[in-house]
Structure 1
Amino acid sequence: MLDPELWIWESKTISNEEKFYFNYSEDNQGGPWLYISMDSGFEGVTEVYYTGLRVIFKKL
């Protein structure tokens, strides 16, 4: 494993303009739960830190 002192960090902006619909779970107070995940495509350890997220919930 690489020494963490040698890791290269970079900031990336990722966006998705395509709308998508999903079913979600609610907690015991009716609040929605949203799970965010990512597949790095690498065969090793990847660390991702989200610094901002914009999600719009609309009742259909």
Structure 2
Amino acid sequence: MAEQAWTAAELRVELARYHQELIAAENHRPSTIATYVQHPERFIAYLEGEYDPRQPQGRNAR
């Protein structure tokens, strides 16, 4: 199986598409959608060095 690599920008585009699909499904509460989207956003920021979970409130790593 070939390994697929994604850039942070590509991940954000796909996350935005996922977000829109969640909204369009009309079967999730806004708080559920926020949870489904905010956690991956934070992970992408972590991958880019913009988020450090060891800092208070996950402040920017830089």
TM-score normalised according to structure 2 size: 0.24
Which of structures 1 and 2 has the bigger CA Rg? 1
Structure number with greater CO (CA < 8 Å, separation at least 6) is 2
Relative to total residues, which structure has the larger strand share, 1 or 2? Answer: 1
Relative to total residues, which structure has the larger helix share, 1 or 2? Answer: 2
